[in-house]
């Protein structure tokens, strides 16, 4: 089992991982684009959420969104996709 301090990353750590500035990550946290919790004076972002941000893990919402996009694409462009597949 991981210790509590390893369950979360800080904004500066996440900024380094994502290759963004601390301010950019902080703004995304404030807008709600990155889920974080307030721990004292700093914010903590769960490692699971970081994996999701990096595309290593797909949550149920992301899977549903992808499925919906695929269905919409096939319904709108199905015939075109079939013709392209013949080439």
Q: What is the DSSP string of 18-85?
A: HT--HHHHHHHHHHTSS--EEETTEEEEEHHHHHHHTTSS--HHHHHHHHHHHHHHHHHHHHHHHHHH
Angstrom distances, CA of residue 56 to CA of 2, 45, 62: 19, 16, 12
At 38, phi and psi to the nearest 5? -85, 125
What does the pLDDT profile of the chain (87 residues) look like in tens digits? Answer: 445 557 899 999 999 998 999 999 999 999 999 999 999 999 999 998 888 888 776 677 878 888 999 999 999 998 888 888 876
pTM strictly above 0.75: no
Assigned CATH topology for domain 1-56: Molybdopterin biosynthesis moea protein, domain 2 (3.90.105)
């Amino acid at each position: 089992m991981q210790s509590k301090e390893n369950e979360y990353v800080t904004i500066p750590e996440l900024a380094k991982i994502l290759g963004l500035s601390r301010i950019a990550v902080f703004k995304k946290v404030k807008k709600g684009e990155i889920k974080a919790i307030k721990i004292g004076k700093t914010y903590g972002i769960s490692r699971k959420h970081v994996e999701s941000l990096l595309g290593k893990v797909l949550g149920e919402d992301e899977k549903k969104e992808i499925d919906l996009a695929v269905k919409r694409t096939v319904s709108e462009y199905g015939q075109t996709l079939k013709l392209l597949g013949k080439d």
